[in-house]
Amino acid sequence: MTMMHLAALQLALSDNMEANIAAVSALVREAAGQGAKVILPPELFEGHYFCQHQDEANFARAAPVAEHKAVRAMQALAAALKVYIPCSFYERDGQHYYNSLAMIDDAGALMGVYRKTHIPDGPGYCEKFYFRPGNTGFKVWETRYGTIGVGICWDQWYPETARAMMLMGADVLMFPTAIGDEPANEALDTSRLWRRAMIGHAVSNVVPVVAANRIGAEVVGGTTQSYYGHSFITDERGDFLAEFGDGVSGVLTAEIDLERVRKHRATFGFFRDRRPDLYGRLVADI
């Protein structure tokens, strides 16, 4: 099979896990009803993006993958609808805490867990307080429809993330996200930069890209942060197949002919002409 029908979800989220699971589940059902087989919710959809501030009470939000309510709900839904769901969640593994993604197959089984590699730290995005850097390495997942690579939010800014997953065999790149205001610089709107970074991955790797972000204003620790949406799906040339602006809840879908994408990728020659013998500087931390 060469066709892959993809979906991205965009919505506002409360700080009630059960309500968020219900809202995401409704959009997953809508996407499946439109024919989507791989459906991407936003990052940490289980609640408000709590990383605005450092608060030790928030560690209680985490749970092991086998016990996490959002993961278990998406497993049941994936099995019922026969779809794949990359499910972002706050993971506790012993004494360690991660910003993780559970890859769920179309029978509801857990294919594995990816732990976010790049952990940001700054005003409004205090993730280093809450999350240990991921120890899984990058991952790709073979589905019935093709192979998908999934990074998480800050991962999406790094060309190394995209290229690593492509070299591992990805046919499509997906990025669940929680991004909006930049409290350190109120004049900076990163929504354009955010999209351009991932469009660059699409072009330089000749690969479709799917990004799912949240919307709405969330009050955490007495301050308000707004999330700008702009979720999208591009083709392998970086052209939008489907996109939302800010403030829109719903489902984006697109169907990709992977055979066409592979032909275009081979024609461009980006992977043929790589010179890894000259790239040692890229992995030298000096």
Cβ neighbours, 10 Å, residue 35:
12
Of the candidates 20, 67, 25, 68, the one whose C-alpha atom is nearest the C-alpha of residue 48 is: 20
Q: Where are the alpha helices (DSSP H) in 13-60?
A: 17-33
Q: Where are the alpha helices (DSSP H) in 173-245?
A: 191-205
Catalytic residues: 43, 116, 153
Under 8 Å between Cβ of 89 and 70: yes
Under 8 Å between Cβ of 126 and 52: yes
- Edge-to-edge strand list for the sheet holding 38-40: 38-40, 3-10, 250-257
8-state DSSP, 117: S
Under 8 Å between Cβ of 270 and 276: no
For residues 47, 51, 55, 58, the Cα torsion angle rounded to the nearest 10 degrees is 30
